[in-house]
Structure 1
Amino acid sequence: MSGQPAAEQSAAEQTPAPAARTRADVVRVWAARVVLPVSVALWLLSLRSVPLDKMRDLGLLQVLPPLFWVATALLTLGFLLALSDRRTHSAWLAGYVFALIALLHATPTLLYPTLRYSWAWKHLAVIDAVNRHGGEVPNADKFSVYNEWPGFFDLHAMFLQITGLDSAVGYASWTPPVANVLLLAPLLLVYRSVTRDRRLVWGAVWIFYSCSWVGQDYFAPQSFAFLLFLTVIALLYRQLPSSALPRPDPDRRDGWPPGLLVVVVVIVAAIVVSHPLTPLMLITAMAMLSFPRRSRRLALPVLIAAVVLTAVWDATVARSYISVNITGVIESLTEPDKNVTSGLAALGDAAPGQILLSWVDRGLSAAVAVLALAGLLTHRWTWRTGLPLLAAAPLPLLAVNAYGGEMLFRAYLFALPAAAFLVAVLLLPPSDRRGVGRTLAVYPVLLAMLGGLVFGYFGKEALNQYTLKEVAAARYVIENAPPGSTIVSLTADVPDLDLDYEKHRRVQLAYQDEDDLRQMVVDPLEGVTGFIYGATEEKPAYIVLTRAQDMNLYVTGALPADVSERLQAALAGAPGFTRVYDNGDAIVYRYVTPPPD
């Protein structure tokens, strides 16, 4: 390796001597230090008056004031100024990254009065049910999958019991910024194990956060499992003989220290019991890293542990779910093309802004793939890092299962940590000595990445945010519905309506089969009545109509946008239906089947 040209040597071998500072260097250093607090202050000022009620097709993109975008552009410029000086202390670079995380992921938390995203509310309901039942929840119906991968929920249930908190809703809102902050440690460990070039390390970190648009960082098992996945990867890279970091035990032969291997196996077990997809991602990653001889002794034990633990878990605890769904997995093996394109379909009925948003997401993902490939081809030393193998590791799973139309996006997420480094190598090559000029030349590229990210991350916030009135309506239903009641909504966008899910029957009309959907379009009242006919005083039905559901229909096109209005008009005079709650953002009807004439 030492006989290769300098441009092709690993950055781990390059330790450039700092040149004497010029007056321009001093100005640049102080500019970078001033820009950080100024951009943070501008960001906070921009959040003082954001008209959330005006969000439509493009969510927060339509209502965030110009000052927010000025802060974003200024923060990116300041980061590049700091990055252009090799003597910039890592604390300043870390400060810029923390500010980027806050700007992207704390903005909704600071703006919204309560927890965002319907799935996060579902997970709160599962934790509540686990606490009430002391473990597995009976009569869970569609929620039974959470009984079979309970790790995340049991952990939070235990935390609530220890702390005496009634619910996780208070801290769940902060999961996106906290989860992204926690990802920084394993990211840095991976990158620092590959190179000593701090500019390349922090550039890769910035690119990762600038391109992570998939949004799997909310209060969910997948965000927890992804953090554990990346931690395993980081610990493995730390032990590689080629690691740019000092070996923790220079005299030890290649392989895991016994104590650390136990820790890694425990982390693998936590992944296996928490999420069905992440263990498969870990298996493919370890299989890829088992090919190079230099990492084989480290990857093989983890691969064996992941395969054995996943097989045992799926054959025992998760057996009922696996046995029901294994047929679909086998069938999907014969249709790999559909698995790959499944997440790219069904755009015809979406709002115009959502179609634009989807194409921007695709463009950013494709750009990352192209830039990463270019970085790999133009800097051949990256082959020896194993990162190209990690970037390619999720691809085999695309041929196995569509994962509800999300496999393409999940594959992108798991490939991104490695791909971000390869992109950084292309944009900020370690052999470059041109300083600030070349570094600032990538400013438009980083701004474009952030522009693509905010489309994917902020573009659907019109239906992801809820008002306190919507929460109050759901609480009214849960507190007044007797066990065995049927609770009907148009979509899943009703916060806290899944509370006590094992006691009630839930119907979400927009997700029924094609015949039922046609009936809803032709006659909304008849479409609803077909699911609740036979309701009694002891087991009535409740129909919940809310602002967020209306927005969901408009944004996604799951049903025509006027269905909610027509249904509300029909319910007002229909026999058996009584309006029992109305606060402006939500209306609740109670239904008891009227006696025959």
Structure 2
Amino acid sequence: MRRPLLFTTAALTVTALHFAVVTVWPASLLVTVLCLVGAFVFVLRLPEEHPWTLGLLAGAFAVVVHGTMIVLEQLARFPTAWLHAGYTAHVMEHHDVLPSLGARFSWPAFFVVTASAFSPAGDSVPEPVLRFAPLFFVLAMLPAILVIARRCVVVWRGSWRAPWLAVWFFPLIDWFGQDYFAPQSLALLLGLSIIAIVLTLSDRPPTLWTTRDGVLRRGGLLWPRRPGIRDAALVRARIPDALLLVGSVVVLCAAVAMTHQLTPFVIAVQLAVLWYAGRLPWMLPAWIVGVTALVWVSWGASDFWIPFIADVFGGVGDPVGNLSAGIVERTGGSAEHQTVVAVRLGFTLAVVLAAAGGVIAEYVRDRRIELSLPLLAAAPGFLLFAQSYGGEGVLRVMVFATPFLAMLVTKLFITRRGLGRAAAAAVVIVSVACVPPFLVARYGNEPFERVRADEIALAGCLYDRAPAGSTILSVSPHLAWQFRDIADHLHLSANERVFDAETADDLRARLEQTPRPRYLIFTEPQLQFVVRSLGAPATWPTALQRELAADPAMTVVCENSGGVVYRVGGAG
């Protein structure tokens, strides 16, 4: 026990030193990762399981990978996180929700819960909550992933190494940035918890695809059990726990249904494939989740989907079009943006191929394939047949599949004999080698995804000056705004998906027939988004700034190093 404790203490000490020196020595990130993975692999190769040690090391690794940028950045990244803070602030102040503001308020559970939690702290969500939310959600998902992996990663009876390796790999391949202060983050956490609880409640052995007579056939339970008196007594003893778990699942299903549009349907499909794989005795959990979601959509979210029924169902049955919206339309823009997209696609493809390699390795090694994990990873693919989800359909599929892809990857390294020396070395090499592409994939769009203090100050000045009922136009949607007074103004954005507002005249045209007074907010991240993502000429930001400064209809209201706020056409 002394050697694991020694290695763990040394690795955690290096982790603490990393956060102390990373601002002056960025290379400390790779050094810390190397120390952590070395200690983790050492403990993983021991004959006995040391859960607390492995948990500390895996948690420290997640903190290093996902928390380093929190130290380096001044404020919470992702402008959308600040928008969600604005929704929450509205609930804090008015104690109600307004579905007319947007689709998010048709699934308001996240905002209601966070408003209740942080109301004693003031009238808005504290900024540190926004900043540390990604790290919180990643760490909170790890226990659920561990429980699911213990039930699904079948290497040999009693294996404990593969689940811990899945917990290790998940933070490293979760580059998608969908774990910020947002409803989908909470919904994904609750969804994984539902799957973990249901698998714990069922405790059924997995169904395998095995080779019989030269043909891959479904059947053959691993570790078959014969029911008897002891099993009946065990069932009776577990009835109170089972009722508690079932009640928990029902409550979680209701919470997920009122939190996010897609997650409950994905969870329902994943529970259905678990039933098909023999892990659940009934389809009841899938029906509970699916019916609960349909009830909420039909009743609680009717204000959203009835007026926009064509948009909601427009992509149904068009997987090619939805795939194009998720990939092809995102590959344009500047050379820097294309590089980031290429790294993201390559990194994601490598993870998917590694997961497929894990399935193949399992079949070659044991002449069997356990169905649960491949089906769980593939189940979110049905979203491509639903709609593009604003061009994020492919991204959402990968977000839901990533925990199970991490579990499949472990099959490349863990065998019946455990974790051999070659496999242990491979884990170390892969962990260190994946850090650079992970950082590029997750943080490659920092010029317009990072939020700066001067940007927040500029938006705050705007809300101080603009009277209620004003129209506020942004040059592009990528800026931190709407974090207060979200229902008091009409917020519009130009250049959302295509570069279609090049001049001051184009921007003024967007404000026609809108309430006065009218304001235009102009910040550097907005311009970077239009240039890097939408392909505007590199000279366009400078030209537009000069045009706006020379336009007599534009009156400067607020200005700092982050940008300018103009009042358009006077106050009347």
The answer to whether TM tops 0.5 is yes
Match runs of 1:65-464 below 5 Å: 65-87=26-48, 89-137=50-98, 140=100, 143-164=101-122, 166-194=124-152, 196-242=158-204, 250-252=234-236, 257-297=242-282, 300-347=283-330, 349-380=332-363, 383-384=369-370, 386-429=372-415, 431-432=416-417, 435-464=420-449
Post-superposition offset of 1:532 = 3.1
Match of 1:487 in 2: 472
Counterpart residue identity of residue 15, structure 2 = V
Post-superposition offset of 1:588 = 1.6
Does the Cα contact within 8 Å between 2:494 and 2:510 map onto a contact in 1? no
CA distance in 2, matches of 1:181, 1:447: 20
Match runs of 1:10-29 below 5 Å: 29=4
CA distance in 1, matches of 2:457, 2:319: 45
CA distance in 2, matches of 1:496, 1:165: 16
- Aligned pair in 2 of structure 1 residues 216, 322: CA closer, same or farther (>3 Å)? same
Does the Cα contact within 8 Å between 2:557 and 2:565 map onto a contact in 1? yes
Does the Cα contact within 8 Å between 2:470 and 2:518 map onto a contact in 1? yes
Post-superposition offset of 1:273 = 0.4
What SS does structure 1 have at the residue aligned with 2:235? coil
Residues 391-433 of structure 1: per-residue CA shift (max 9 Å, x gap): 121122222211112121211221222221121012222x135
Counterpart residue identity of residue 303, structure 1 = A
What SS does structure 1 have at the residue aligned with 2:478? coil
- Aligned pair in 2 of structure 1 residues 500, 247: CA closer, same or farther (>3 Å)? farther
What SS does structure 2 have at the residue aligned with 1:251? helix
Unaligned stretches of 5+ residues in structure 1: 1-20, 50-63
Give the percent of matched residue pairs that are identical in Structure 1 and Structure 2.
Answer: 26
Post-superposition offset of 1:571 = 2.0
Does the Cα contact within 8 Å between 1:241 and 1:254 map onto a contact in 2? no
Unaligned stretches of 5+ residues in structure 2: 207-222, 224-229
Counterpart residue identity of residue 540, structure 1 = P
What SS does structure 2 have at the residue aligned with 1:218? coil
Post-superposition offset of 1:356 = 1.9
Q: CA RMSD in A?
A: 3.0
TM-score (norm: length of structure 1) = 0.83
Which residue of the other structure, out of 7, 12, 22, is the alignment partner of 1:47? 22
What SS does structure 2 have at the residue aligned with 1:438? helix
Q: How many residues align?
A: 542
TM-score (norm: length of structure 2) = 0.87
Counterpart residue identity of residue 554, structure 2 = F
Does the Cα contact within 8 Å between 1:487 and 1:507 map onto a contact in 2? yes
Residues 285-323 of structure 1: per-residue CA shift (max 9 Å, x gap): 1221222445133xx221121222112111112123222
- Aligned pair in 2 of structure 1 residues 106, 396: CA closer, same or farther (>3 Å)? same
CA distance in 1, matches of 2:243, 2:331: 55
CA distance in 1, matches of 2:232, 2:114: 34
Indicate the larger mover: 271-280 or 281-290.
Answer: 281-290
Does the Cα contact within 8 Å between 2:343 and 2:440 map onto a contact in 1? yes
Counterpart residue identity of residue 522, structure 2 = L
Whether 1:580 and 2:557 are equivalent positions in the alignment is yes
Post-superposition offset of 1:237 = 1.4
Does the Cα contact within 8 Å between 1:351 and 1:556 map onto a contact in 2? yes
Counterpart residue identity of residue 553, structure 2 = G
Does the Cα contact within 8 Å between 1:550 and 1:561 map onto a contact in 2? no
Indicate the larger mover: 86-95 or 161-170.
Answer: 161-170
Counterpart residue identity of residue 136, structure 1 = V
- Aligned pair in 2 of structure 1 residues 353, 250: CA closer, same or farther (>3 Å)? farther
Post-superposition offset of 1:375 = 1.9
